[in-house]
Amino acid sequence: MAEKEESRKKDQANAKRDYLERHTANDDGEMLTTNQGVKVNDDHNSLKAGERGPTLLEDFHMREKITHFDHERIPERIVHARGSAAHGYFELKESMSEYTSAHFLQTPGTRTPVFVRFSTVAGSRGSTDLARDVRGFATKFYTEEGVYDLVGNNMPVFFIQDAMKFPDLIHAVKPEPDSEMPQAASAHDTFWDFVSLTPETLHNVFWAMSDRGIPRSYRMMEGFGIHTFRLVNKEGKSVFVKFHWKPVLGVHSVVWDEAQKISGMDPDFHRRDLWEAIENGNYPQYDFGVQIVPEEDEHKFNFDLLDPTKLLPEELVPVKIIGRMTLNRNPDNFFAETEQVAFHPGHVVPGIDFTNDPLLQGRLFSYTDTQLIRLGGPNFHEIPINRSVSPIHNNQRDGYMRQTINRGKSSYNPNTTEGGYPLQAKASEGGFVSHRERIDAHKVRARSESFIDHFSQPAMFYHSQSQPEKNHIISALRFELGMVKDEAIRKRVVSLLYMIDQSLADKVAMGLGLTAEAPDKITNHNVPADADPNDYQSPKKNPDVESSQALSMANTRKDTIETRMIAVLAADGVDDDSLMKMKKALEEEGAMVKIVAPRVGKIKTAAGNELMADKSLLNAASVLFDAVYIPAGIKSMMALKEEHKAIHFLDEAYTHCKAIAADGDGVDLWRESAAGKKEAMADKDEKTAVLHGVLLNQKPSEFIKAIAQHRFWDREKVPA
């Protein structure tokens, strides 16, 4: 019996080994194939009508690859799973009738309802809001002519040029499949391996490694349409257009150490910030702008307008502000609205059309395909949050979750049984007519030579940054690459950085224990199997502009403290006049003032009044606030002096370069902190201290000016 059992186990083990040998993918020498076993010649470029032409529907390999990718997860989104949203309206300020026939862009004063969803890209629904990541910025316009979706990000470029590579990009940045780690993070081998072999990713990598990758708030974050689209007017004349959202409060971020700590204190930080701002009547607002390029100027730049890894510098084509969006209502139900909303770049209205951007062309297929599995079938347009406000009449019927009850016997066109209805609409009646673009090209899997330069614009972006922003990029790259285990990957990335800026590469390499060296040859790995790699070398051209002010957050708006969260450290015995005078001044400027006390509940002021503490040192930290104020009051100061968390609160706020103010006895508490002692040793006079963001016994107006500056970066240690 024992021998039989041993023999049975041996047979099972052999069978399992044979099975694994037959079914394990990526063995040495295997050729890439489709799911039908057809060997793939080019896994990098979609099939197009000419190198710069539209992607063809017959591209079975791209459709299979993206279809499989779109259906990999249920029910949450594969990307942009972690999101927050709000209702509002868009109001047109300047007519665009010269450029487009879109009805909602014709008459100044026209208000169009909108629903906007903000999101992270890489993490799951349960991940933190403060991951270093690209942020989604998707807007659904409920226009009189139908739904229009502007599906963008908080960065104007994307990692890849062709939709064929999207599954590869996301597979690389998602948790590694063997360990399912790390969550919502790009700091691991597979992502940087992909980057090191795909130079086209570098521009977006620089944006993600900059402070744009860790925004202060969705309300202080830009949005971009990414792609170049077309506007078409009533005469059929077309222009190229890029779309921009610019936050009225300015563009601001947190620092990396702060982001990590916020993730621990409040992983819903951005979600809560958006919700509470709207509930408090502090409605987020964004100016809507366009960059218009006439068709005859399509090829006047040193980059290709159809390349989604490139931006159009505002120095070449200024952003024209044409309207403003206001978000004024939170969703009634997160699942029904925020989770079930379905965006699609292909949802356009007459007067807005597509270009042959190969990433956009793939997205036009991918988004509908994704909704079919995520929302259970083809009727996702009937979910209330997705419904058009204009009437729907067509011959589409049945399917999962159908809600419309169609009357009559005909569901085809043409027909006589229903008098021919619904009828086709003429262009003069608002019917959508695609732009008449002449196409005369061979079917090829290739990319235009105008897409090959992957270094000029990352260099432009880096050189546009202020010195503190450059320091943050260096630190971010050191952190990310420091988490990469394979030294060969780190070396390849550093060699690519060398092509962008030698000083940058040297500093990153120093932090990694490497030496920055120029690569022998920069080759684009996204080439067909039988192509000559030398034909795909990635040169560095002269950029159209060396640097752009619009790309640095140092140049954003810094004259308002509206909705900024200010912590007031107070305990029993706090001076009434000191606290209330500052609180009143801050709130009159639109700031949100929160009293942080040693414990939850009420505190008693020096005059015997009772105040309710908004937070306690047990559940609050400086990372949740934009600035800190310490009012006068000897008893309050003495009580806080015994709280090590109060001292840490001040030191941490100082480390993160925030404005700090103290009055009277509160100055003594400040001087108990390590930061306060450091400042005292520096022997700064009052004027210098104000410029440095630490205000002792100053007027409230000076503190307000300091908060508006957002951060005082001169406190930071410069990377070696």
Residues belonging to the active site: 80, 153
Q: What is the DSSP pairing of strand 659-662 with strand 627-630? A: parallel
Helix (H, G, I), strand (E, B) or coil at 620: coil
Spell out the residues 6+ positions from residue 584 whose beta carbon is closer than 8 angstroms to its own: none
The number of residues in the chain equals 720
| Signed CA dihedral, 279, 282, 283, 284: sign only | negative
Cβ atoms of 95 and 108 closer than 8 Å: yes
In sequence order, which ranges of 502-560 are alpha helices (DSSP H)? 502-512
What whole-number distance in Å separates Cα of residue 664 and Cα of residue 630?
9
Distances (CA, A) of 80 to 124, 166, 268, 308, 372: 8, 14, 15, 19, 17
Read off φ and ψ for residue 365, nearest 5 degrees: -90, -45
User: What kind and span of H or E run contains 696?
Assistant: strand 694-696
Cβ atoms of 113 and 87 closer than 8 Å: yes
Q: What is the DSSP pairing of strand 565-569 with strand 627-630? A: parallel
Interior angle at CA 146, CA 143 and CA 147, nearest 5: 80
Read off φ and ψ for residue 611, nearest 5 degrees: -125, 140
Cβ atoms of 120 and 82 closer than 8 Å: yes
Question: Which structure tokens are listed for 540?
Answer: 């560095």
How many Cα atoms are found within 13 Å in the side-chain-facing hemisphere of 300? 10
User: What kind and span of H or E run contains 260?
Assistant: helix 256-265
Residue 165, exposed/middle/buried by CB under 10 A (0-12, 13-18, 19+)?
buried
What whole-number distance in Å separates Cα of residue 358 and Cα of residue 354?
11
Question: Which structure tokens are listed for 136?
Answer: 């989604």
Cβ atoms of 387 and 341 closer than 8 Å: no
Cβ atoms of 460 and 206 closer than 8 Å: no
